[in-house]
Amino acid sequence: PSFGNGAFCFEIAPNGWHSSNRGRVMVYLRLLQLPPNVANAVCQCHFDSNQRAVLAPSTERITLCYDVHGLEWTLKNASIRLLKESESLILYVKIQVIGKSQAAVVAGS
């Protein structure tokens, strides 16, 4: 099945999501929708940037579904201060679907 356009959203919060991570750069890949009749997708997600000294590359494997619909790029050393000192920032994400399972068909539906 095709994920087409609009299946994923790539979010960045340069100063954290809430008070517990204020001052930390948070990057999140969020699943917005699955193709029809697909219950979940096993994905390998590769995160990278042009600022590797600040944002180290990472590859994560995750099974995405509507209950587990996102993946955070863990940025241990990234802060709003470091990003402000950078001349430019380019973020990359490569999503490779390596498996899936079909949604259960309910009799009589």
Supply 6's token pair.
């609009």
Q: Which two tokens stand for residue 57?
A: 């590359």
Regions of the chain with pLDDT less than 70: 1-2, 4, 74, 104-109
Q: State residue 65's pLDDT score.
A: 92
59 within 8 A of 35, measured Cβ to Cβ: no
Say what the pLDDT of residue 2 is: 67
Q: Can you read off the two tokens belonging to residue 60?
A: 């994560």
- pLDDT for 47 equals 92
What pLDDT is recorded for position 42?
Answer: 93
* CB-based contact 93:29 (threshold 8 Å): yes
